Amino acid sequence: MSYQKRPFRLSRRQVMRGLLATSAFGLTAKFGTSCAQSPTPEATAEEGAATAPAEELVVGFLYVGPKDDFGYNQAHAEGAAAMAANVPGIKLVEEASVPETTAVAEAMRSMIEIDGAKVLFPTSFGYFDPYILELATEFPDVQFFHAGGLYQEGVHPKNVGSYFGYIDEAQYVAGVVAGHMSQSGKLGFVAAKPIPQLLRNVNSFTLGAKSINPDITTQVIFTGDWAVPVKEAEATNSMADQGVDVITCHVDSPKVVMETAEKRGIFASGYHANQSSLAPAGYLTGAEWDWSSIYTNLGQQFMEGKTLMAGDIPHILRGGLAEQFCKLSPYGPAVTDEAKADADAAKAAIESGELIIYQGPIKTNEGAEVIPADKGLDIENIELEKMDYLIEGVVGSVS
Amino acid sequence: MLSSQTLRRSSEAILLPIGAVLVALIIFGLFTALAGAHPFAVYGSIYKAAFGSWSAWQNTLIRASPLMLTALCTALPARLGLVVIGNEGALVMGGLSAVLVGLSLGTTIPGVGVQGAMALGSIIGGGVWIAIVGALRHYRGVNETISSLLMNYIAIAFMNHLVQGPLRDPEFVTKPSSAELAESVWLGTIPSTRIHYGLVYGLIACILAYFLIQRTTFGFAARTAGGNIRAARVAGLPVGKLTLVVCFLAGSCAGLAGMVEIAAVQRRLNESIVSNYGYAGILVAFVSRHNPLATVLVSVLLGGILASGGILQRSHDLPDATVLVFQGIVFLCVLFSDSLYGRFPIFQDRPERVTGGTAASV
């Protein structure tokens, strides 16, 4: 130990010099930044504190991942930005990468206590039980909006609301496009976990494709988790090897799937948000959330003084293509006019209510009949929320 | 003379890490300045969100309590000279064992009894998991760092398999999870706070670990084996047994963290139990230089850093990874400060200086 002392001996003078230099640097750095950037945020914050509390409404958004993930979180973040831009008087506070543990409860609490948030949008599905429910009980005058349709009248606190889009309608239309564009008659679906919402997407995508080509099949691969980029890329590659020529997915961030499909020269259909920039040649269309319209609408209602507690805002907001809960990405360059025409027709029929996606007879891919021939399940039907099967034409298994 | 020597030693052990954290703060301040925020306002916000009020303190302590337990999983084997990073896996196995015990007992016996059984189950589950690492190390010479890291993935995959298959509660649609524990076995909060009893578990475990390592013959034997394994063998110490026991204790602490997370927070087993408490625990163990008492303080510090992650995003428009950058800078600075021990003459005694002079001339 002692011989090491030699090359690194610090005299008192050197230490003092070092400390002085560091503090001088710190001071100048501080002055530099304070001149350059900070006046604006500080000034606005001052202004906000001075004039705002009476009229400004603080709305908090929490995301489970980064805001620029080309997927689930980005779709919500874009919607939040649209709300803040379109509705004057709304101040946005956001927190990204909040895990589904006590961290989210603490994040919501500090948004309420420190930032004075009156409305919260904890966007991840898994935030609901128990975190949102507990906080909602503790803060009865704060409104909590959750994406997922889990609210139950009488069971959950009055200041909790659910909003939920039937994005499988958009997946059906995307399936119509995919059915037209596939040469091999094999579609691919990279899926995270077999929960009802996801199975609905797989099945309606397949139904859309089968409406064009009854013999078409969809190969589904479950990766087991919402964000496992390596497995998603592997799944995409292996399906491309098997001759699949249109791939879509339901994972948190479709980025890797889209990029891999583009690299392999096959078509891709997006999900959550618009991913056309990731696959400029092969992007066909995509099932996107349209949170901008929903959030803007809700924001206007907040500013009019409407609340969940008073009953002015319904506790369950649901809708599909017609209600602008979801939409389709603009068609990519490869999509043929014929495909566009059929897809537009299917979209119009869904919006008008003429086309029922889950019209019997529908069998599972194990041969059991789930919807008899004379029965059709409306998109709102609660039975669909419990879906635990893959329909005929899907290659894969739930368990 | 002796007392001044120990004083110098311990002040070195305290001041160097503090200095490292201060340097980390300065570097982080430069980083935030580059990212367009005002460093001093950022420091102020961090302080406010982590320690500024009783509510903020509670936020910090809630985040700190699992870290105390998971940190021991790295700190204890480190005294034996083993670098074990299987904290996450042991936590998952502990949580899994706790849920299995809790669900199978149900409400047949009073809630406190079930909690005790769950705690015991998690201690055994996590303990055996890391004891496997110790056994592989001792009997087969498998590198304990690699094996414990890989066993994390095995544990997480095993847990995911169970909650998506045999253990799955079909009624709960949010995410594949086990059934919910009965309300009587939920671990409550400390009265008039929102901090759950996991904090108490963590404090007790750290204090026990300190006494075990520093004040018992067992701890002395472990430290001796960690210092020089050949000398320990010559002295007749049962190195194999020591390895297994220390690894078991280490794993049992992380396992207990899993039980607390299940019984106090999640109430059912699902993927959310994997939320980096294990990996953050490794950081805590290294920063506290594997001293169980320092672990408590460092956990609170890191809990505060994590608690301030939100306000950095909300008030300063910094990206969500900022808090990870801060954590990383602190880690690097503290690890680097390890190389500075014995290099500042101010902490050395005069007699040592004389020997230093002679050695230097060689």
CB contacts, 8 Å: A33 with chain B? 33, 36-39
Per-residue buried b or exposed e for B323-335, using 16+ beta carbons within 10 Å of the residue's own CB: bebbbebbbebbe
Q: What letter represents residue B189's amino acid?
A: T
Answer yes or no: is pLDDT of B354 > 70: no
Distances from the Cα of B150 to the Cα of A312, A333, B123, B281, angstroms: 54, 45, 20, 17
Tokens at residue B174, please? 């949010």
Distances from the Cα of B276 to the Cα of A102, A211, A338, B202, B288, angstroms: 13, 46, 50, 17, 18
3-state secondary structure of A269: strand
Answer yes or no: is pLDDT of A36 > 70: no
Query: What pLDDT does residue B138 have?
Result: 92
Answer yes or no: is pLDDT of A248 > 90: yes
Q: What letter represents residue A66's amino acid?
A: P
Cα distance from A214 to chain B (closest Cα, Å)?
32
For chain B, say whether A399 makes contact (Cβ under 8 Å): yes
CB contacts, 8 Å: A26 with chain B? 26, 29
Tokens at residue B311, please? 């306000």
Which residue from B minimizes the CA distance to A3? B360
Task: Kindly tell me the number of DSSP H helices and DSSP E strands found in chain B.
Answer: 15, 0
pLDDT single digits (tens) B57-72: 999 999 999 999 999 9
Query: What pLDDT does residue B261 have?
Result: 92
Domains defined for chain A, CATH in brackets: 54-165+291-319 (3.40.50.2300), 168-287+336-395 (3.40.50.2300)
Query: What pLDDT does residue B359 have?
Result: 41
CB contacts, 8 Å: A7 with chain B? none
Count of residues making up chain A: 399
C-beta atoms of B174 and A150 within 8 A: yes
Query: What pLDDT does residue B10 have?
Result: 80
* CA-based torsion, A229, A230, A232, A237: positive or negative: positive
Distances from the Cα of A311 to the Cα of A159, A316, B78, angstroms: 9, 11, 59
* Pick among B59, B305, B340 to test the A interface (most A CBs inside 10 A): B59
C-beta atoms of A114 and B49 within 8 A: yes
- Count other Cβ atoms within 10 Å, centred on residue A256: 23
CB contacts, 8 Å: A196 with chain B? 173
**Taking phi first (over 0 means left), then psi (-120 to 50 degrees means alpha), and beta for anything else, what does residue A269 get?**
beta
**Residue bearing tokens 């002055």:** A31
pLDDT single digits (tens) A362-382: 999 999 999 998 888 888 888
pLDDT confidence bin for A23, thresholds 50/70/90? low
Helix B87-105 and helix B54-79: axis angle, to 10°?
110
Answer yes or no: is pLDDT of A16 > 80: no
Answer yes or no: is pLDDT of B3 > 70: no
Answer yes or no: is pLDDT of A139 > 50: yes
Answer yes or no: is pLDDT of B249 > 90: yes
Helix (H) or strand (E) holding B57: helix B54-79
Domains defined for chain B, CATH in brackets: 39-352 (1.10.3470)
DSSP state of A125: G
Helix (H) or strand (E) holding B279: helix B277-287
C-beta atoms of B313 and A94 within 8 A: yes
Answer yes or no: is pLDDT of B202 > 80: yes
Q: Does the ipTM surpass 0.95?
A: no
Is A234 exposed, middle or buried (CB count within 10 Å of its CB: 0-12, 13-18, 19+)? middle
CB contacts, 8 Å: B48 with chain A? 114
Helix (H) or strand (E) holding B211: helix B198-215
C-alpha span between A94 and B317 (Å, rounded):
9
Answer yes or no: is pLDDT of A53 > 50: no
pLDDT confidence bin for A33, thresholds 50/70/90? very low
C-alpha span between A255 and B197 (Å, rounded):
42
Average pLDDT, chain A: 86
Q: Are B151 and B132 in contact (CB under 8 A)?
A: yes
Do the strands A119-122 and A316-319 form a parallel or antiparallel pair, or are they unpaired? unpaired
